[in-house]
Amino acid sequence: MSRQPPLVDTHAHLDFHAFDEDREDVLQRAREAGLVAVLIPAVDLTSAHRALHLAETWTQEPSLYVAVGVHPHSVAQAWQGRATLDQMEDLTQHPRVVAIGEIGLDYYRDVTPRSAQWEAFLAQLDLAARKGLPVVLHQRDSMADMLRILEDWVRSLPPDHPRGVLHSFSGGPEDAQRAVELGFAVGITGPVTFKKADQVRQVVAVTPLEHLLVETDAPFLTPHPYRGRRNEPAYVRYVAETIAQIKGVDLTTVAHTTTLHAWRRFRFPQPAPIPASSSGASS
Ligand code: NI
């Protein structure tokens, strides 16, 4: 049994080819680092099938869950409107699918024309609403549009509908506050460990711990001290440790609170491995 505090990486692309050579070793290192669950967000339907195959065949800890969706970078190649949406809807029946994602808007790279990004994003939000699922959101240089769209989306939902996470949050403290008011979690990734990450550190400082989730975005966004190498779920611990330092609490508090809230937000079907007396258990 692991004596590490339990952690959930709510964003790791374990289906990517970067892990083809040593995926089992990566998962074993994740378990040794205390990870109890990993959420794999698909970037298109092929990626979703690969992720689901992995989730079905890996039977040890960490438990693997999947979000199905078409990433804004993939929309130009992989989005075929209704046909894509129908296949996604079928996949939501799978017991390991807990969310719609990774979906959103990316104005930084503009790999896909913005009108097409919008069409795919709105259609996938609508699917999440119909299926009662939370969303895993990608935003880059698109925060104002993203928050406006989410305001409309939340207004259309029943109050108890799970919202999801703004993954690898890149806005300022006021944007984070607005996201929290709308019921979203703020996803924190490796760059929080970098010396120059003043804005994301400020976001962590002002956002209550129960609204933060820890993520890697593996194989990308590797935290210090492994910056420059391939990222993997075990390194989510460095994100949690940095949050603990910023907030002046211990790692166990960050681990228990973020794990419990990952479980609640994504409604993982297995019981949460959190001690009942754990601090941060209230929300
Ligand atoms: Ni991602």
Give how far Cα 216 sits from Cα of 194, 221, 236, 277, Å.
Answer: 14, 7, 6, 28
Domain span including residue 212:
7-275
Q: Count the helix, strand and coil residues of the chain and give each as a percent rounded to the nearest 5.
A: 45, 15, 40
State the sign of the Cα–Cα–Cα–Cα dihedral 250, 253, 259, 261. Answer: negative
Q: Is 275 exposed, middle or buried (0-12, 13-18, 19+ CB in 10 A)?
A: exposed
What is the per-residue pLDDT across 41-53, written as a single tens digit (0 to 9) for each?
A: 999 999 999 999 9
More confident residue, 151 or 109: 151
Which residues fall within 8 angstroms of residue 172, CB to CB, at 6 or more apart?
199, 202, 203
Whether residue 28 contacts residue 54, with contact meaning beta carbons closer than 8 Å, is answered with no
Please, which residues have CB less than 5 A from ligand 1, an ion?
A: 102, 217
What is the per-residue pLDDT across 123-140, written as a single tens digit (0 to 9) for each?
A: 999 999 999 999 999 999
CA of 41 to the centre of ligand 1 (A): 7
Q: Is residue 89 part of a domain?
A: yes
Report the CATH number that the domain containing residue 173 is assigned in CATH: 3.20.20.140
Q: Is residue 29 part of a domain?
A: yes
CA of 187 to the centre of ligand 1 (A): 11
Residue 283 has pLDDT above 50, yes or no: no
User: For position 273, what pLDDT does the model report?
Assistant: 80
CA of 72 to the centre of ligand 1 (A): 11
Q: Is residue 2 part of a domain?
A: no
Amino acid making up residue 141: D
Q: Is residue 283 part of a domain?
A: no
Residue 241 has pLDDT above 90, yes or no: yes
Q: Is residue 84 part of a domain?
A: yes
Confidence band for 187, pLDDT divided at 50, 70 and 90: very high
Total structural domains in the chain? 1
Q: Provide the 10 A C-beta neighbour count for residue 140.
A: 17
Look at the pTM and tell me if it is higher than 0.85.
yes
